[in-house]
Amino acid sequence: MEQTADQPAAQPWHIEVRDLAMAYGDRVVLSGINFTVKRGEIFIIMGGSGSGKSTLLRHMVGLIEPATGEVLYNGVSFTRADPGEREAMLRRFGILYQGGALWSSMTLAENVGLPLAQFTRLRPDEIREVVSLKLAMVGLKGFEDFYPSELSGGMRKRGGLARAIALDPEVLFFDEPSSGLDPLSARLLDDLILELRASLGATVVVVSHDLASIFAIGDGSLFLDAESGTAIAQGNPRALLEQCEDPRVHRFLTRGQEAASQARNV
Amino acid sequence: MSMQASASKAARNEIRFDYRPDSTLMIELTGSWRLGNELPAPREIERQLESDGRPRCVAFDATNLRTWDTSLVAFVARVVASCAERGIEIDRNGLPEGLKHLLKLAENEPAHAVSESGSGDRRVVYRVGKAAIEFAQSSLGLFNFTGLVVIAFARLLSGRARMRLSDLIVQVQGCSAQALGILSLISFLVGTILAFMGAVQLQQFGAAIYVADLVGIGIARDMGAMMTAIIMAGRTGAAYAAELGSMKVSDEVDALATMGISPVEFLVLPRVLALVMMMPLLCLYADFIGMLGGAAVAAGVLHISFVSYFTRTAAAVTLTTLVGGLFKATVYGVLVAIAGCWRGFEAQAGSSAVGEVTTAAVVDAIIWVVTACGLFAVVFNLLHL
Ligand SMILES: Nc1ncnc2c1ncn2[C@@H]1O[C@H](COP(=O)(O)OP(=O)(O)OP(=O)(O)O)[C@@H](O)[C@H]1O
Ligand SMILES: [Mg+2]
């Protein structure tokens, strides 16, 4: 186990999800989920509303324990790891929550600086410098001393991103990064994700139902379906659009345009 | 066979029932249907549907309808539902085009309905069982949470907990100086109330000076700690639940957890510690102010001087009594803080959640404090304290 962690290149998959089943109480939401994500890949989790995308993401970062199955990073099981190991793995994650989830009692600089203060040996003035750098990367230079309540929704999201990349994570998770943003900001965020992947070499997992962004940044993807309670397709989103036979996937990826035009013709 | 919903004013909505020979009930909709107006009583419609010549089909006539809004949609939807229950056919052709569309939208099945979403069995046995299971689960959650707090405290003692001193200071501020105003008022009043209650009885025996004993022991032993605890439950416990609840709802707690920072260590520990540290001090202060209240009554009503009152008090209230009260206050502090933090973490997404958990935190805290007070009374009695 130690060896695989030391030589990540030997492991073909960065993230591996094995036979995962998820339930809230007695109600099984998803089951039989299997997929792998290569290092440096941008992986999209898509599906209709209520299909369990956020639930899957919460399982991957350990906020909920799976009913069965496990999640592995670099070939090491995250699900079975003991608390100490798990904390070490968590430190290599960066997570952007849907609303940003900045800590409301702290300024933007304190938000981004907290992980640095907790997990590094940097001195306060060095932390301040790193924080400014990270905020500049997401276009929030000069907002260091603003509280989250004084920022707009889009700025909070970018602030959350700055916090997520504070410790130069290996894996970035995004829950609906473009929801609530205007089309242009959403586009800029996509570019930012691509740049971060290139500069940090991070693997990125994105929950999204923004088609433009799915096609623009997705390398691989997983399509969840609420009715069957499992994944019904996976692969490159553009390839899925061209080749996937399943009408549900096709309808989603074409925004139901065919169905609509059929309806008009009738 | 016609009925009018109200005095015939053109601006009001009106319905008229009209039986056609082919056993069709024609509902004629006239006037203007606005949300501000009263809707026809549902019973009226049901009576029509169940009348002797039970209609086979219901149709609408809207030729004289002037304006309409959601109120008409709601009315028609209700008629449709009543008819469906009784297996009566509905003819929608007479309805305005737009209304037909709205009705269809409202009748759309959800994409995939969840079967067991609450509205199932409402029988008493079911509800009692459900409540019992929920109570058991919530008690389990509470034990779990208390365990986490104990572990976090142990980690703090061994220097491994991630808690910031600045957070502790902020919390101490919130539950010390800022609480003094209301604490003074309440303790003073409780002191005077106790004194009045005692004075009425003791004066009859010419033992007025013993008011000092009664107030002193009563306050130092129980009332001081209990009043402080109840005030802090309303002030600080509620604030804890509201703060942590809103953090939980906006994913801020999860954001801490997924960063490898334990929310219990980072958020709960400073709050519990602050209250536990401050409660004895607040209680001591409340004791003093309460006795001052007693002295004021003694001076004003019983003409006992401050000096003799406090000499008497000093003789009556032993150090054991006083320290016992402060010990109780500390325990109440733990209870109030745990109730606030635990309820806060229980908040589920939704805007009403924070309000609900805040109320629950205060209620829990007061119940626990009063229960603990009763237990202490028994135990202290057994120990002859
Ligand atoms: N805390 C919870 N307790 C119980 N059931 C839940 C909870 N959270 C989500 N669910 C259920 O799990 C299913 C999947 O929810 P989830 O939030 O993962 O959907 P989603 O794909 O993220 O949807 P959206 O695109 O709308 O965010 C839903 O049917 C929902 O009712
Ligand atoms: Mg979601």
Please indicate whether, in this complex, the C-beta atoms of A91 and B255 are within 8 angstroms of each other: no
State the pLDDT at residue A1.
38
Q: Give A213's contacts (C-beta < 8 A, 6+ positions apart).
A: A177, A178, A186, A187, A189, A190, A206
State the pLDDT at residue A132.
93
Helix, strand, coil percentages, rounded to 5, for chain B? 70, 5, 25
B148 touches chain A (CB under 8 A): no
> What pairs with residue A71 in β-bridges?
A17
Determine which residue's CA is closest to atom 22 belonging to ligand 1: A54
> pTM above the 0.90 mark?
no
Among A2-11, A162-171, A184-193, B158-167, the range scoring the smallest mean pLDDT is A2-11
In a shared domain, residues B207 and B354: yes
pLDDT tens across the length of chain B (385 residues) = 444 444 444 467 778 888 888 888 888 888 888 887 777 777 888 888 877 667 888 888 888 888 888 888 888 888 888 888 888 888 888 888 888 888 888 777 655 545 544 555 678 888 899 899 988 988 999 999 999 999 999 999 998 888 899 999 999 998 888 889 999 999 999 999 999 999 988 888 888 889 999 999 999 999 999 999 999 999 999 999 999 999 999 999 999 999 989 999 999 999 999 999 999 999 999 999 999 999 999 999 889 999 999 999 999 999 999 999 999 999 999 999 999 999 999 988 766 789 999 999 999 999 999 999 999 999 999 987 7
Host domain of residue B84: 2-108
**With 80 as the cut, is the pLDDT of residue A4 above it?**
no
State the pLDDT at residue A154.
85
In a shared domain, residues B263 and B377: yes
Domain contains B263: yes
Which of 113-142 (B) contact A at CB < 8 A?
114, 116
pLDDT tens-digit series, residues A113-126: 999 998 888 899 99
State the pLDDT at residue B2.
44
Compute the Cα dihedral for A132, A137, A143, A148 and give only its sign. negative
**With 70 as the cut, is the pLDDT of residue A68 above it?**
yes
Ligand 1, CB within 6 Å, residue ranges: A 24, 29, 47, 49-55
**With 80 as the cut, is the pLDDT of residue A266 above it?**
no
**Tokens at B90, concatenated:** 């509905």
State the pLDDT at residue B28.
87
Range among A46-50, A97-101, A129-133, B79-83 rated most confident: A129-133
Torsion of Cα atoms, B125 then B130 then B136 then B142, to 10°: -150
Burial zone of B109 (CB within 10 Å; 0-12 exposed, 13-18 middle, 19+ buried): exposed
Domain contains B353: yes
Q: Say which of A61, A93, A118 has its CB closest to residue B261.
A: A118
State the pLDDT at residue B110.
57
**With 80 as the cut, is the pLDDT of residue A264 above it?**
no
DSSP assignment string, B98-129:
HHHHHHHHHHPPPTT--TTSS-S---HHHHHH
For residues A76 and A70, give the distance between their C-alpha atoms in angstroms, rounded to a whole number: 10
Domain contains B121: no
In a shared domain, residues B81 and B205: no
In a shared domain, residues B74 and B181: no
**Under 8 Å between Cβ of A81 and A89:** yes
Give the count of domains, chain B: 2
- Kindly list the distances between the CA atom of residue A91 and the CA atoms of A135, A168, B265, in Å, as whole numbers in the listed order: 20, 9, 17
**Tokens at B48, concatenated:** 């029509």
Q: Count of A–B CB contacts within 8 Å?
A: 57
Strand order in A42-47's β-sheet? A93-96, A171-175, A203-207, A42-47, A220-225, A230-234
For residues A218 and A216, give the distance between their C-alpha atoms in angstroms, rounded to a whole number: 6
Write the CATH number for B69: 3.30.750.24
State the pLDDT at residue B265.
94
In a shared domain, residues B277 and B342: yes
Write the Ramachandran bin of A151: left for phi over 0, alpha for psi from -120 to 50, otherwise beta. beta
Q: What average pLDDT does chain A have?
A: 87
**Under 8 Å between Cβ of B113 and B78:** no
**Tokens at B109, concatenated:** 């099945």
In a shared domain, residues B201 and B101: no
Determine which residue's CA is closest to atom 31 belonging to ligand 1: A50
Domain contains B28: yes
Question: Which residue of A90, A96, A111, A147 to mutate against B (max B Cβ within 10 Å)?
Answer: A90
Q: Which amino acid is at B209?
A: I
In a shared domain, residues B225 and B367: yes
In a shared domain, residues B272 and B351: yes
| Closest ligand 1 atom to A207 CA | 22
In a shared domain, residues B64 and B170: no
State the pLDDT at residue B263.
94
CA angle A207, A208, A214 (to 5 degrees): 120
Domains assigned to chain A: 12-92+170-182+200-258 (3.40.50.300), 101-168 (no CATH)
Q: Give B106's contacts (C-beta < 8 A, 6+ positions apart).
A: B73, B77
Please give the average per-residue pLDDT across A205-215, as a whole number: 90
Please indicate whether, in this complex, the C-beta atoms of A103 and B247 are within 8 angstroms of each other: yes
Please indicate whether, in this complex, the C-beta atoms of A99 and B254 are within 8 angstroms of each other: no
Indicate the residue among B42, B73, B108 that finishes a domain: B108
Indicate the residue among B108, B127, B146 that finishes a domain: B108
Domain contains B309: yes
State the pLDDT at residue B5.
44
Please give the average per-residue pLDDT across A39-43, as a whole number: 93
**Tokens at A223, concatenated:** 């399509």
Strand, coil or helix: A36: strand
In a shared domain, residues B248 and B363: yes
Please give the average per-residue pLDDT across A121-150, as a whole number: 91
Please give the average per-residue pLDDT across A19-30, as a whole number: 89
Three-state SS annotation for A140-208:
CCCCCCCCHHHCCHHHHHHHHHHHHCCCCCCEEEEECCCCCCCHHHHHHHHHHHHHHHHHHCCEEEEEC
Domain contains B133: no
Indicate the residue among B108, B134, B152 that finishes a domain: B108
ipTM for the predicted complex: 0.86
Domain contains B78: yes
Instruction: Give A-chain residues touching B255 at CB under 8 angstroms.
Output: 95, 97, 101-103, 160, 163
State the pLDDT at residue B358.
94
Name the residue with tokens 């069995």.
Answer: B121
Domain contains B172: yes
For residues B271 and B91, give the distance between their C-alpha atoms in angstroms, rounded to a whole number: 64
In a shared domain, residues B58 and B205: no
Provide the CA A181 distance to its chain's centre, in angstroms: 17
In a shared domain, residues B81 and B181: no
